[in-house]
Structure 1
Amino acid sequence: MHLKLIIFSVLLVVVSSSSSINWLKFKRDYNKHYKSAAKEAERKQIFFENVNRIRTYERLHPNATFKLGINHLTDRRIEELVSRSKHYIEPLAGSMESTLESIFVPDSFDWRTKGVISPVKDQGVLTDVEAVVAVGQLVLGSVARVVDCCPQPVDPLQCIRKLGGICSARDYPTPTGKCIPDQCKPFAHFDKIMRLKNRDENTMVTWIQNSTLFVGIDASQTSFELYQGGKTCSLIVLH
């Protein structure tokens, strides 16, 4: 009995030490600083809870299609990060298309090397849509105009087309709380919106050669907050 207690105590010390090391590494890797000792204690507890979720997930799902891991959000709860409102995506049959021709595609293609995609940003919730278009040099589209004029569950792409196109962030920098369509002059527009059929990766690979893709994702699960790699699918989106 005493031997079992000793072994248990040793294991407890090892686990506690490992958790503390992970916490210190996390703070160093992501340059984390907190306003007070109480706030750090709170974030540390959340961090330990999330790490425990990661370990439990790995144990229960060794062959899962996506992986969890420690990232810059591991000291936060999922409720802090996502919108409470969810939007079910109804497939629009009339606008679904698939490619009818086979073309040669390279092993990889990255629009970032073409000056089309902006750096990754914290976009907030689903309503904070960023329109990014290449016109010689990268020009950021106005998020504020989309937020004001295309509230969910309005399809933002259809809405932008009806508004006449995309204004620059410089011309419409902040939300006004009401839609003012003529406050800015669009610098780019599109005439056609094409939607992929479910799981039609061949079409996606073909289309990506000529255009970037707009996607909606489900960020409501802790598994997304702690995401490290792989894929999962859902019809509920809020980002």
Structure 2
Amino acid sequence: MECSQRLLLFCVTIVWIFASISGKPTLENEWTYWKQKYGKTYKDKHEELNHWKIWLDSYKYVQQHNNRTDTGFIVEMNFLADQINIRSPIQYNNVKTDVPVTKVQDVPDSWDWRVKGAVGPVQNQGMMGDVQTIVITECVESYEFVKKGQLEGLSIFEVHDCCVHSRLEVDNAFKCIHDIGGLCSEASYPKSVGRCANDSCDADVQVMGGETVAQGDEQALKAAVYKIPVMVLVDASHASFQLYRSGIYSEPACSSVRLDHALQIVGYGTMKGVDYWICKNSWGVDWGDRGYILIARNKGNMCGIATHATYPV
């Protein structure tokens, strides 16, 4: 290990020397600027070296990817460039349903709930945070807007404490919200994690339960999204997703069954003949396109986006 690390440092030093002689920005300068930009600090040189190696792989990937002309999207050296993307699959049931949502022929070609005022601000939970809890809460907030025309911040902590006991399970979350009597506002529920304390506040929003879109059916998903923003599970385990910047995301290596991340679909459309879903992430506004990603639509259930889609009713 020590030998390989010394060899890496030697090679990096040689690259820096030749880059300096040529007058081009060195990797050392790039690394220093990137750390300053995102406020990165490490406890010691060993930890920094480990993150540097990951960052270097990301740097090479970004350069190679963005030099291609056949991908449809670009990536960047964002704040996750020094992180290994290790994610655990989310547990879900393979539910198939023929419950009608809206007739597909009555659905417009494009739709965006953001311009209607039904979508709250992008959250920042960190890459390894409890994303399902956030998306479930956001969908109930959007449900209340669609139902009553008002968007209110609801308690993410209440959903976590009372309904999502494991961050790797999402089934029946909307039914649980119904069973506990609804959700309290963000301001009224205690900001603590662990014990369900929904008896300490009055519910502001109630739901009847949840509905699941027919598995793998992107036309049914389109009809559902036209009706209400929808929670979906996706495969987000690839560097292309972690470092996404803009464009219509399409990853050939994506799985449609090994799903490890949750997004809120808030709309859909078409760009230059390519269909896409408008998806809200929860990694902050510094990730992607101000916190959003466009994922290819009608392209073989890209990244499993139509494998497990649910919404409150």
User: Of residues 217, 226, 231 in structure 2, which corresponds to 1:200?
Assistant: 217
1:49 aligns with 2:57: yes
Correspondence for 1:234 = 256
Q: Could you say if the C-alpha distance between residues 186 and 54 of structure 1 is closer, same or farther in structure 2, counting changes exceeding 3 Å?
A: same
CA-CA distance at 1:147 after TM superposition: 0.9
Aligned-residue RMSD, C-alpha = 3.7
Q: Counterpart of 1:13 in structure 2: which amino acid?
A: F
Q: Aligned pairs, how many?
A: 224
Correspondence for 1:86 = 89
Q: Counterpart of 2:241 in structure 1: which amino acid?
A: F
Q: Could you say if the C-alpha distance between residues 146 and 192 of structure 1 is closer, same or farther in structure 2, counting changes exceeding 3 Å?
A: closer
C-alpha distance in structure 2 between counterparts of 1:22 and 1:70, whole Å: 10
The answer to whether the Cα contact below 8 Å between 2:101 and 2:224 also exists between their aligned partners in 1 is no
C-alpha distance in structure 2 between counterparts of 1:113 and 1:138, whole Å: 13
Correspondence for 2:39 = 32
C-alpha distance in structure 2 between counterparts of 1:111 and 1:143, whole Å: 21
C-alpha distance in structure 1 between counterparts of 2:233 and 2:89, whole Å: 11
CA-CA distance at 1:142 after TM superposition: 0.9
CA-CA distance at 1:129 after TM superposition: 2.6
Q: Could you say if the C-alpha distance between residues 154 and 113 of structure 1 is closer, same or farther in structure 2, counting changes exceeding 3 Å?
A: closer
Relative contact order higher in (CA < 8 Å, ≥ 6 apart): 1
Which aligned pairs between 1:90-129 and structure 2 lie closer than 5 A? 90-94=93-97, 99-107=102-110, 109-123=111-125, 124-129=129-134
> If each structure's strand is expressed as a fraction of its own residues, which one has the higher value?
2
C-alpha distance in structure 2 between counterparts of 1:104 and 1:177, whole Å: 42
Correspondence for 2:206 = 189
User: Of residues 22, 28, 31 in structure 2, which corresponds to 1:23?
Assistant: 31
5+ residue gaps in structure 1?
1-8
Correspondence for 1:210 = 227
5+ residue gaps in structure 2?
1-13, 263-313
Correspondence for 1:3 = none
The answer to whether the Cα contact below 8 Å between 1:105 and 1:206 also exists between their aligned partners in 2 is no
Q: Could you say if the C-alpha distance between residues 200 and 65 of structure 1 is closer, same or farther in structure 2, counting changes exceeding 3 Å?
A: farther
C-alpha distance in structure 1 between counterparts of 2:48 and 2:149, whole Å: 46
1:73 aligns with 2:80: yes
Correspondence for 1:5 = none
Structure 1 residues 143-152 or 182-191, which shifts more?
182-191
Q: Could you say if the C-alpha distance between residues 163 and 115 of structure 1 is closer, same or farther in structure 2, counting changes exceeding 3 Å?
A: same
Amino-acid identity (%): 24
Structure 1 residues 41-50 or 13-22, which shifts more?
13-22
The answer to whether the Cα contact below 8 Å between 1:97 and 1:194 also exists between their aligned partners in 2 is no
C-alpha distance in structure 2 between counterparts of 1:196 and 1:64, whole Å: 29
Question: Normalising by the residue count of structure 1, what TM-score does the alignment of the two structures yield?
Answer: 0.71
C-alpha distance in structure 2 between counterparts of 1:206 and 1:158, whole Å: 22
- Structure with greater Cα Rg: 1
Question: Normalising by the residue count of structure 2, what TM-score does the alignment of the two structures yield?
Answer: 0.57
1:143 aligns with 2:146: no
Q: Counterpart of 2:224 in structure 1: which amino acid?
A: W
Q: Deviations over 1:186-230 (max 9, x none)?
A: 211222523222342222333323211112233344443223451
Q: Could you say if the C-alpha distance between residues 24 and 96 of structure 1 is closer, same or farther in structure 2, counting changes exceeding 3 Å?
A: farther
CA-CA distance at 1:170 after TM superposition: 1.0
